[in-house]
Homo-oligomer: A and B are copies of this chain.
Amino acid sequence: MTTRTSDDTPARRNTTPGPERSGGANLADVARLAGVSRATASRVLAGRAAGKAASHARVLAAAQELGYVVNGLARSMMGVGRRSIAFVSSMMVGPTFASMAGGAEDVATANGHLFTMCTTGGDIDREAALIEALTEQRVAAVLLVGATPPTEEFEQRAERYAETLGRVGAQLILCGRAALPHLPQIASIDYDHRGGVRSAVEHLAGLGHRRIAFIGSLDDTTTSSQRFLGYQDGLADAGIPLDEEMTVRSGNTSDDAATATQAFIATHPDATAIVCQTDIMAVGVCRALHASGISIPGDVSVVGFDDMQLVADLTPSLTTVRAPFHDVGELAGRIAVGEAYTGPIVLPSELVVRGSSGPVRA
């Protein structure tokens, strides 16, 4: 490898300080073996050679024999390499992220870009370090996706990210995250959290429900606040006054939601419907209701959000809001590959009515 001296093969050295300086054969080796200059070899290998001189075959054969792999790093330094687009989220779990990533990936690969996904585990320091690293690596665009903690702090953070990326000609794109009011230059492709929950509440009101609860994390993320606003919208549409007693705060896991529900229904037996911030939480809500002998939707209707694959298989199957995750990713991908960004986009959500919601009990 690194040793150019003799035939000793020092196995693979365990200490990996960095990329090996020179992996195998390079362009000069190929040119030498083919008996041409590097320029000629370069032209042939890049398919930029016009006619078909005899030397072409020799170059190709030499490359084949030497196992030549073009150095993408060097190409990128020249400004002709493959660009890469990074999809950054806190966790890569659930069909939500998978769909968004899929949409973006389709566009990216179709345009010859390298599409990669990275996670931060919700750790802000890791997120910052990751974006710094991606910037150094000269990424073309970063798709920052998902809910993010406190708005004010995030806005500053996003501005730093965008600025850093901008220094190398890269772009920050918010994905499934509302545009930042003070930073319109940062692209945003989002879906309609608010309208989705709103239609869920309207659906329930249409079934005769009046005591409709909302369970959510109620933290400062745009996701949860937008969805909570949708709940308020829906109530307003139906002429139902907002009752603080009908809002339940819970963690994001199904276990948290189950615990919170248990306590809620014990003190509020008059609730006939529960709107959940996420499907995950809805699962916990259903579990708690079952455990308490409350029938769904006979006694209480339940509605979720996200339309995860498995919630259709719950008993009863879950009524939920389906968001156009794939489309969000696709649009974001388009911006990432160079399509002009003309302003924030918000895609509509759609209510999927299944078995967990029904007429209010008599």
A70 engages B136 (CB within 8 Å): yes
Q: Does A150 contact B (CB under 8 A)?
A: no
B18 engages A80 (CB within 8 Å): yes
Q: Does A114 contact B (CB under 8 A)?
A: yes
Cross-chain contact of A338 among B15, B67, B86, B140 (Cβ < 8 A): B15
A167 engages B69 (CB within 8 Å): yes
A163 engages B67 (CB within 8 Å): yes
Cross-chain contact of A313 among B98, B168, B314, B338 (Cβ < 8 A): B314
B23 engages A138 (CB within 8 Å): yes
Question: In the complex the two chains form, what is the Cα distance from A168 to B74 in whole Å?
Answer: 14
Q: Does A46 contact B (CB under 8 A)?
A: no
Question: In the complex the two chains form, what is the Cα distance from A179 to B193 in whole Å?
Answer: 46
Cross-chain contact of A98 among B91, B168, B315 (Cβ < 8 A): B91
B101 engages A119 (CB within 8 Å): yes
**A162, chain B: closest CB distance, angstroms:** 12
Given A74-B77, A118-B116, A338-B14, CB of A168 within 8 Å of CB of B92: no
Question: In the complex the two chains form, what is the Cα distance from A308 to B283 in whole Å?
Answer: 14
B118 engages A133 (CB within 8 Å): no
User: Whose C-beta in chain B lies nearest to the C-beta of A24?
Assistant: B167
B136 engages A79 (CB within 8 Å): no
Set of chain B residues within 8 Å of A313, measured between Cβ atoms: 254, 283-284, 286-287, 314
Set of chain B residues within 8 Å of A286, measured between Cβ atoms: 313
Q: Does A268 contact B (CB under 8 A)?
A: no
Set of chain B residues within 8 Å of A102, measured between Cβ atoms: 119, 121
Query: Binary interface profile of A, 279-312, with partner B (CB < 8 Å = 1, else 0)?
Result: 0000110110010000000000000000011110
For A111, A134, A167, which residue has the most chain B Cβ atoms within 10 angstroms? A167
Given A69-B168, A105-B119, A135-B69, CB of A290 within 8 Å of CB of B314: no
Question: In the complex the two chains form, what is the Cα distance from A134 to B69 in whole Å?
Answer: 11
Q: Does A17 contact B (CB under 8 A)?
A: yes
Q: Does A267 contact B (CB under 8 A)?
A: no
**A336, chain B: closest CB distance, angstroms:** 9
Which residues of A58-94 are within 8 A (CB) of B? 67, 69-84, 86, 91-93
A73 engages B23 (CB within 8 Å): no
Which residues of A6-59 are within 8 A (CB) of B? 11-25
13 interchain pairs, CB-CB under 8 A: A2-B169, A14-B338, A16-B140, A18-B79, A19-B76, A102-B121, A114-B133, A254-B309, A283-B310, A284-B313, A290-B315, A313-B314, A314-B315
